[in-house]
Amino acid sequence: MKAKEKIKEIFPGIEIIDNQNAIYIKDIDTIAISDLQLGEELYFAEQGIFVPQIQLKEILENLKKIFENVKAKRIVINGDFKHEFGEASKQEWREVSEIIKFLKENVKEIILVRGNHDNYLLTIASRLGIKVFDPYYISKNILFTHGHKRIEFPKNIEIIIIGHEQPAIVLSHGFDRIKIPCLLYGKMKNGKKIICLPSFSPLASGVAVNIIDKEELLSPILREDVDFDELKVIGIDKEAGILRFPNIGKLKYHT
Amino acid sequence: MIKFVNTKIVKSDKEILKKLRPYVRKWFERNFKEFIIHQKFAFELIRKNKNILITAPTGSGKTLSSFLSILDHLFTLSENNKLEDYVYCIYVSPLKALNNDIYKNLIIPLKEIEKIAKDMNINLKEIRIGVRTGDTKSNEKQKQLKKPPHILVTTPETFAIILSTRRFREKLKNVRWVIVDEIHEFANSKRGVHLSLSLERLENFVGRKIVRIGLGATLEPLEEVAKFLVGYSGEKERDCFIIDARFIKPMDIKVISPVKDMIFASSEKITNSMYKILSKLISEHKTTLIFTNTRSGTERVVHHLKHMFPSIFSEEDIGAHHSSVSRDIRLDLENKLKSGKLKAIVSSTSLELGIDIGYIDLVVQLGSPKSISRGLQRIGRAGHKLHETSKGRIICLDRDDLVECSVMFKKAYEYFLDKIQIPKKCLDVLAQHIMGMSLERKWNIKEAFDLIRNSYCYHDLSFNDFVSVLKYLSGYYHSLEDKKVYGKIWVDFDNMTFGRRGKYARVIYSLNIGTIPDEVKIKVRSLEGKYIGTIEEEFLQRLFPGDIFVLAGKTYEFVKAKKDVAYVIPAKEKRPTVPSWFSEQLPLSYELAIEIGKFRKMIFNLMNKKSKNEIERFILKNYHINKWAAKAIADYFYYEREFLKGFEIKDFPCHKTILVENYIDERNNQNIIFHTLYGRRVNDALSRAFAYKLSKLLKKSIGVTISDNGFMLTIPYDVEEDRKINPKDILNLVNSKNLEEILKNALKQTELLKRKFRHCAVRSLMVLRNYKGYEIRVAKQQLNAEKLLRICEKIEDFPVIKETYREILEDYMDIRHAKEILEKIENKKIKVIFLKESDLPSPFSHSLIVLGESDIVLMEDRKKLLIKLHKKILERLKG
């Protein structure tokens, strides 16, 4: 294997796609992304913050880059496809349809895993003819779940993929301090492997996992089922590429 | 045309008095011995419907000056039963809590006059006064609608809201006079820019000339302020008469060094000594008003006075008065002041203005007030009556302060004032008013543009910028179906019209209008719970446990935040890890900075001929300072000269010579120190531009420390790339032509940009403060300024971004003078002298070095920066 490919690899046969917040799983020919939070701009507008709408355009551009890199038969959207907790708004409808349409042109199968923001997703998805899995989707030995609640893991499962946390890492040295999204991976207490995907939304600022206390983590799976400090960190930046770090415990913020 | 009134040719009191209604005349004669000079001119000019600007010290009867003619006129109408149910006069003040003052200055005189008239058997219809501010209850507003006040007292914010109301604005149809009080508070801020547009909107609505009356204390330049007040009528400047009575009050001012030896005294000693002097001054006077430069300073002074001198001060006779103190406590303090029950009151800015505070016989200023006008305004609060001497004592806490204040008050005695700068073409304020106008009616775009250009602040507005704001407000950047969410107005460019959109428009406008940014303050406490000060919420969001930051001149380590309190432990001797971009310090004015430069030059020149003792005596004799202060200044200059001698340098830093030091500190960081004594606003611009160029050259992030007297660029030491730069090599990187472009790039990643952008986004109504009845705080935290900025930067020609850069370059910084300085360097009118590398900084640099970074200019190449950070962190983990 070439060095360039090695740097992308998370577990054998699972790698990060082209500096994007997305992974490709070779064995099941599947792309996985998480936390798109579509329609978040409208949510902010309802709160009185009128952000210009850019999210949809950027998500489509990023998806395009992914499909230019990888041809896969399936894509898994691992929860929080859209942002709103309540009934879908027009903007969300439009955005969801547009993205689904684009995905259909590029993959044979679209899998939606239900997240905590996806209460009304079922209606939209059924109209668009897409299956929604709740609380998890399994393909071979891999389980996809959003990560907002703990679940019983079936025995034959070897790898668990979650989202929800929207992890990011703060890099600091001297005057410099930058936060970038990151992917977390490692072993769970039960011996299975786990991957936590970063958010695919350009609006996400992320939870700085090397700053906060374990109790403040959003995902109960990360809080309870893993030794959080032992998880390894891969920073992902569109320009700088993939930056591999040791485990979180070593990256805890110190001055 | 703007004309100055010749104050040498004065009419006699008799001539004026005979023009007054007999009962008004009688009232005046009963209450006053004679007219104050500006009152005579004001009376005549207002009678002739002329616009006027009156400048005179606080407490010199300006309110009467403006109202006498108006009241006389209203009484005449009343006598003839012609007084109708309309607002005749609008009085705009920067203060919300005006009721007390208005009662004393307007309602009592009215009642007295009415009584005299009654005694003379003249029946007058009551003249009504009404106060309307953000605090006015809705039943009071209802009352005002039924029976409108003839004189309406209000703030600029409420004034702008009234203009867009459906019904009450009809009561303004007959307004004849507008009085703008405390115009010095408005003219240099966006609040004033906002007011200037309200005045034009009112005049447009009324449909004929309104007499504008401006009242100010110490300010300069008067012509500009007069233009600001009256604006334009089409292309023609409106007329205005200036009555200049600024310097009619005698002063007694002294600058004090609290210790005998300012150079070597410890900061504890200086502070202790300051409190002893302060307590002595308070004991010797009846009521003392103490000004500090920050709100946290105010609390500290009260706390220390009570604890150091428990036998002198009790809870009851000393208090802190500033804008964060609750309204009840503030009013209680003001009442105690008026009844003479307080020995001392400590304030930051809230007591600068003309609210009535009774008898004050001494004003003490702690540290430099940073501008002559502000200094005089503050000291003018002592001896409130006109011919009483204003007594002021300035206690300085460091050497730079001493030099600054000595020059400042010397110039004050020479009637030299620093110039205020009026912000122009602010697109965020414009957005608010366009939305307000759309609530009034449908507008023709050209007609609205002409109206706006009548304001002095917008006379040079380009049609393109105007259109960009219209587009922004109409939701131009959004898809058609989302326009109803994002659009605040509709615009029809085919028919050149615009108007109101959405049912919430009026509510959004009235709840979110205003120009003062709302900062959520977070209390900072020690782990034991002791109050230390406040920081902004946004600053807290950037703090990580273990971070060291500067607050009120001391360093603290951040431990944790809980329920709106940040807990810290003292971190003595540790360097800050985050720049203190939340500085509350006021900047030194450019004019005054130049005067201090001239002073430096004079003293250094004198040193060639005279001994240190002679210099000390010279300073003592010619400046209004105490003996210790004179000694400290002479010592300070002497040590700087000795230091320079060691480098065989004959030049010295002054307004014509910039000294550049190359100081390697104990951590092996290279620090390039520029002694540019041009005020912080200029240094802010220069330093960031140089830092940006230096960062590009070295591919490193650069620390920037900025003060009024100079700036310092810090190049962090790196074992692998130990490359020292020759300061001479960076001087040519920035010039008067490329400064602006460089600065805009330099600002891109800075905290300053994010922060100012947030303010502009709120003013432009992109981020609302209040929406559908609740305050928006949680969502704001989720969507921080950084992210918002990143999104908006992707849109071309976005007015909110354009305004953010304009505000930073023109208002927050002083790019105009920064360019001028660079031009002078290029034309060799300013000399630049470079010092050899040294591990010792010169005495003039010391205060800059202990300041801590003001901001960081990040390496521009994000990719390289990330890769470097990655490498460094891995190395650190290994090592």
pLDDT score at A1: 45
Angle CA B523–B526–B531, to nearest 5:
45
By residue count, chain B amounts to: 879
The alpha-carbon gap from B871 to the nearest alpha carbon of chain A, in Å, equals 9
For B784, the closest of A52, A91, A205 (CB atoms) is A205
DSSP B355: -
Taking Cα atoms as reference points, which of B141, B111, B144 lies closest to residue B127? B111
Per-residue DSSP letters for B270-287? Answer: HHHHHHHHHHHHHHHSS-
pLDDT score at A255: 39
Is B701 in the A-facing interface, judged by CB distances under 8 Å? yes
CB atoms within 10 A of CB B334: 23
Rounded CA-CA distance B812/B204 in Å is: 32
* C-beta of residue B581 within 8 angstroms of C-beta of residue B662: no
* C-beta of residue B405 within 8 angstroms of C-beta of residue B394: yes
Q: How many CA atoms lie within 13 A of B242 on its CB side?
A: 21
DSSP A183: E
pLDDT score at A88: 58
Cα A170 from chain centroid? 18
The alpha-carbon gap from A49 to the nearest alpha carbon of chain B, in Å, equals 4
Cα-Cα-Cα-Cα torsion A30, A33, A34, A36, nearest 10 degrees, comes to -130
pLDDT mean over A12-19: 94
Using an 8 Å CB-CB cutoff, list chain B residues near A91: 481-482
B270-300 per-residue burial string, b: 16 or more CB within 10 A, e: under 16: bbbbbbebbbebbeebebbbbbbbbbbbbbb
| pLDDT per residue as tens digits for the range A47-101 | 888 888 888 899 999 999 999 999 999 999 999 988 875 565 676 778 888 999 9
For B795, the closest of A50, A52, A205 (CB atoms) is A52
Tokens encoding B32: 């006053």
CB atoms within 10 A of CB A123: 13
Using an 8 Å CB-CB cutoff, list chain B residues near A176: 701, 856, 858-859, 865, 868-869
pLDDT score at B843: 94
Put simply, the answer to whether A170 touches B876 (Cβ < 8 Å) is: no
Using an 8 Å CB-CB cutoff, list chain B residues near A175: 701-703, 716, 853, 856, 858
The alpha-carbon gap from B418 to the nearest alpha carbon of chain A, in Å, equals 36
Q: Is B546 exposed, middle or buried (0-12, 13-18, 19+ CB in 10 A)?
A: middle
Architecture of domain B249-419+589-642: 3-Layer(aba) Sandwich (3.40)
Q: Is B204 exposed, middle or buried (0-12, 13-18, 19+ CB in 10 A)?
A: middle
Taking Cα atoms as reference points, which of B203, B187, B186, B191 lies closest to residue B51? B203
Beta bridge partners of B419: none
CB atoms within 10 A of CB B136: 16
3-state secondary structure B491-527: EECCCCEEEECCCCHHHHHHHHCCCCCCCCEEEEEEC
Beta bridge partners of B3: B241
- Single-letter amino acid, residue B657: T
Domains of chain A: 3-251 (3.60.21)
pLDDT score at B563: 73
Is B639 in the A-facing interface, judged by CB distances under 8 Å? no
Q: Is A236 exposed, middle or buried (0-12, 13-18, 19+ CB in 10 A)?
A: buried
Is B569 in the A-facing interface, judged by CB distances under 8 Å? no
- Single-letter amino acid, residue B488: K
- Taking one residue from A and the other from B, the number of pairs with CB-CB distance under 8 angstroms is 129
Backbone angles phi, psi at B77, to 5 degrees: -60, -45
3-state secondary structure B88-128: CEEEECCCCCCHHHHHHHHHHHHHHHHHHHHHCCCCCCCCC
For B485, the closest of A42, A54, A173 (CB atoms) is A42
Q: How far is CA B270 from CA B276, B396, B397, in A?
A: 10, 9, 7
Using an 8 Å CB-CB cutoff, list chain A residues near B766: 49-51
Using an 8 Å CB-CB cutoff, list chain A residues near B787: 203, 205
Is B877 in the A-facing interface, judged by CB distances under 8 Å? yes
Put simply, the answer to whether B869 touches A172 (Cβ < 8 Å) is: yes
Mode of pairing for the β-strands spanning B52-55 and A74-77: unpaired
Is B716 in the A-facing interface, judged by CB distances under 8 Å? yes
Mode of pairing for the β-strands spanning B177-180 and B521-526: unpaired
Helices (H), B733-782: 739-747, 751-763, 778-782
B666-675 per-residue burial string, b: 16 or more CB within 10 A, e: under 16: eeebbbbbbb
pLDDT score at B97: 66
Put simply, the answer to whether A175 touches B872 (Cβ < 8 Å) is: no
Put simply, the answer to whether A175 touches B701 (Cβ < 8 Å) is: yes
Confidence of residue A237 (pLDDT cuts 50, 70, 90): very high
Using an 8 Å CB-CB cutoff, list chain B residues near A174: 701, 716, 872
Rounded CA-CA distance A93/B182 in Å is: 54
Backbone angles phi, psi at B687, to 5 degrees: -65, -45
Rounded CA-CA distance B43/B63 in Å is: 12
Q: Is B796 exposed, middle or buried (0-12, 13-18, 19+ CB in 10 A)?
A: exposed
Is B541 in the A-facing interface, judged by CB distances under 8 Å? no
Q: What interface predicted TM-score (ipTM) does this complex get?
A: 0.86
The alpha-carbon gap from B324 to the nearest alpha carbon of chain A, in Å, equals 26
Using an 8 Å CB-CB cutoff, list chain A residues near B791: 51-52, 54, 203
Is B697 in the A-facing interface, judged by CB distances under 8 Å? no
3-state secondary structure A148-175: CCCCCCCCCCCEEEECCCCEEEEEEECC
Radius of gyration of chain A (CA): 17
Q: Is the pLDDT of residue A41 over 90?
A: no
Per-residue DSSP letters for B809-851? Answer: IIIIS-HHHHHHHHHHHHTTSSEEEEEEEESS--GGGHHHHTT
Taking Cα atoms as reference points, which of A220, B743, A121 lies closest to residue A134? A121
pLDDT score at B581: 58
Backbone angles phi, psi at B179, to 5 degrees: -105, 125
Q: Which chain B residues in 259-298 lie under 8 Å from chain A, judged by CB atoms?
A: none
Is B646 in the A-facing interface, judged by CB distances under 8 Å? no
For B767, the closest of A49, A203, A245 (CB atoms) is A49
Tokens encoding B4: 């100055």
Smallest CA–CA distance from A53 into chain B, residue: B478
Is B547 in the A-facing interface, judged by CB distances under 8 Å? yes
pLDDT score at B333: 83
B182: alpha, beta or left, given left = phi > 0 and alpha = psi -120 to 50?
A: left
DSSP A222: I
Domain extent listing, chain B: 2-244, 249-419+589-642, 427-512, 657-751+792-871
Q: Where do we find the tokens 């041009």?
A: B678
Smallest CA–CA distance from A250 into chain B, residue: B877
A18: alpha, beta or left, given left = phi > 0 and alpha = psi -120 to 50?
A: left
* Residue A59 or A207, more confident: A59
CB atoms within 10 A of CB B208: 8
Say yes or no: do domains B2-244 and B249-419+589-642 share a fold: yes
3-state secondary structure B584-646: CCCCCCHHHHHHHHHHHHHHHHHHCCCCHHHHHHHHHHHCCECHHHHHHHHHHHHHHHHHHHH
| pTM, two decimal places | 0.90
Class of CATH domain B2-244: alpha beta
Using an 8 Å CB-CB cutoff, list chain B residues near A203: 783, 787, 791
Using a CB–CB cut-off of 8 Å, the residues of A that contact B are 42, 44-45, 47-54, 90-91, 94, 170-176, 178, 180, 203, 205, 211, 235, 237, 239-240, 243, 245-246, 250-251, 253-255
pLDDT score at B736: 97
The alpha-carbon gap from A14 to the nearest alpha carbon of chain B, in Å, equals 23
Peptide bond into A167 cis (omega under 30): no
For B866, the closest of A42, A211, A243 (CB atoms) is A243
Mode of pairing for the β-strands spanning B236-237 and A167-173: unpaired
Is B546 in the A-facing interface, judged by CB distances under 8 Å? yes
| pLDDT per residue as tens digits for the range A149-199 | 999 999 999 999 999 999 999 888 777 788 899 999 999 999 999 999 999
| pLDDT per residue as tens digits for the range A114-143 | 988 777 777 778 888 888 999 999 999 999
- The residue among A47, A55, A201, A247 with the most chain B CBs within 10 A of its CB, best to mutate, is A47
Tokens encoding B492: 């029809």
Smallest CA–CA distance from A169 into chain B, residue: B870
Instruction: Name the maximum alpha-carbon separation found in chain B.
Output: 98
For A240, the closest of B795, B866, B877 (CB atoms) is B866
Tell me the torsion sign for CA atoms B469, B474, B480, B486.
Answer: positive
DSSP A216: G
Q: Where do we find the tokens 């000269």?
A: B641
* C-beta of residue A38 within 8 angstroms of C-beta of residue A56: yes
Put simply, the answer to whether A50 touches B577 (Cβ < 8 Å) is: no
Smallest CA–CA distance from A203 into chain B, residue: B787
Please, what are the averages of pLDDT over each run of 10 residues along chain B (879 residues)?
Answer: 86 92 95 92 95 89 91 94 95 78 83 94 91 90 95 95 94 97 92 98 96 92 96 96 89 94 85 93 93 80 85 82 74 83 86 75 93 89 78 93 95 91 97 97 97 98 97 85 83 96 88 83 87 80 80 81 86 75 74 96 95 95 95 95 93 96 92 96 95 91 92 88 85 95 90 87 90 66 74 88 96 96 97 95 90 74 83 82
